[in-house]
Amino acid sequence: MPEDTTDEDTRSRILIVEDDDIQGRVLASGLEAMGFATDVIANGLDAVWKAEANIYDVVLVDFQIPQIDGLATARLIRALTGPIARPMLIALTASPEALSAKATQTEKAFDFILGKSGDLAPLVAVIRSSLTALPDILTRRAAVSESLERAWSDYDSTPARPGANGDDPGPVRILVIEDDDVQRDLVASVMRHRGYVVDTASGGLEAIHKIQKECYDLVLVDYQLPEIDGLAVVKLTHNLMDQAMRPRMIALTATPSRLCELEPGVDIMFDKIVEKSADFDSLLILVDQLLRSAPNPVTRRAATGASPTEEPALSR
């Protein structure tokens, strides 16, 4: 639920998304001195949940942040807060001209794109101008409440996962997330050869939309994806779906050991982390094993019919 704004604290609320601790604190201190209330978040994914659970007037997003970049963060906040309750979104970047290649995307995601500067006056001027365009706080609170009620209603009316009630679950469904066209088609082809129904996605945001909408039994995730990396995809999946609905998830990466060193806890988020290779037989054996342990018992029984020992090795 959104946090209540007390009568005593009528200051405009700003969420600062900045992974540089010093930069974040300096910006927050300067804005606090000018009468704003601020929160600072270092990670784009955490910022999305913070913005969804609270009513902010403005969100300042450093464009270069880990796991989810500024563009993906802004898009998710727009999608999750809705047109009435959403805050004004301002991108902060050391070189605004560097975003020219993404101009169309960024202009749709952000209300303003500003260069980072030690002079807060231009930023404050934009913030104050933005505040005049926002609906009043009561209207925004009502929009948030309506959105939450609708979300709960949709959740309660969501059909059961195929096979959850003992009905025929249909064929096993797999989603392959890979931005490299050749690699994506290759992995998808191998899975289809096995007899699985396969969908594909080339980016993290597209994948999240498909995971929410469809009932997949297993997801293969390339770790290095544009905008949203593999860890962000699995975190969003864990947050958006309860355990009984969540598909099994395998991370595909060139350096599994290096990934575990750089991202503590990543091995807990994924069901398995696998090195990319041409050894598709080993990958298929792992896929079969994970499908047998999937939450849906009917799907598990269906998957056991595809035993690795009964299939000829794939030619490569």
Q: What is the pTM of this model?
A: 0.64
314, 280 Cβ separation under 8 angstroms: yes
- Per-residue pLDDT tens over the stretch 81-139: 888 889 999 999 887 666 655 555 666 789 998 888 889 999 999 999 999 989 888 88
CA 241 vs CA 40, 209, 259, 299: distances in Å: 27, 12, 25, 18
Domain count, the chain: 2
Residues linked to residue 59 through DSSP beta bridges, in sequence order: 15, 89
Q: What one-letter code names the amino acid at 27?
A: L
| Lookup: tokens for 213 | 């909408």
* Pair 210, 292 in one domain: yes
Examine the domain organization and report whether 180 and 264 are in the same domain: yes
Convert the pLDDT of each residue in 173-195 to its tens digit: 899 999 988 889 889 988 998 88
**Rg of the chain (C-alpha set):** 22
Residue 2: what pLDDT? 45
Answer whether residue 156 is part of any domain. no
Residues 6+ apart with CB under 8 A from 84: 135, 139, 140, 143
Condensed to tens digits (0 to 9), the pLDDT of residues 39-97 reads 999 988 889 888 988 899 999 999 888 777 888 888 888 877 888 889 999 999 887 66
- Work out the average pLDDT over 254-260: 67
- The C-alpha torsion from 22 through 68 and 274 to 220, rounded to 10°, is 170
**What are the CA-CA distances from residue 204 to residues 17, 28, 80, 291 (Å)?**
20, 30, 16, 22
Q: What is the CATH number of the domain that holds 71?
A: 3.40.50.2300
Average pLDDT over residues 211-216: 82
For residues 257 and 276, what is the distance between their CA atoms, to the nearest angstrom?
Answer: 12
In a domain, 198, yes or no: yes
Residue at 131 is within a domain: yes
Q: Does residue 142 share a domain with residue 31?
A: yes
Residue 160 placed within a domain: no
Query: Residue 230's domain spans which residues?
Result: 173-310
Q: Is there a single domain that holds both residue 211 and residue 261?
A: yes
Tokens for 222, please give them.
């390339």
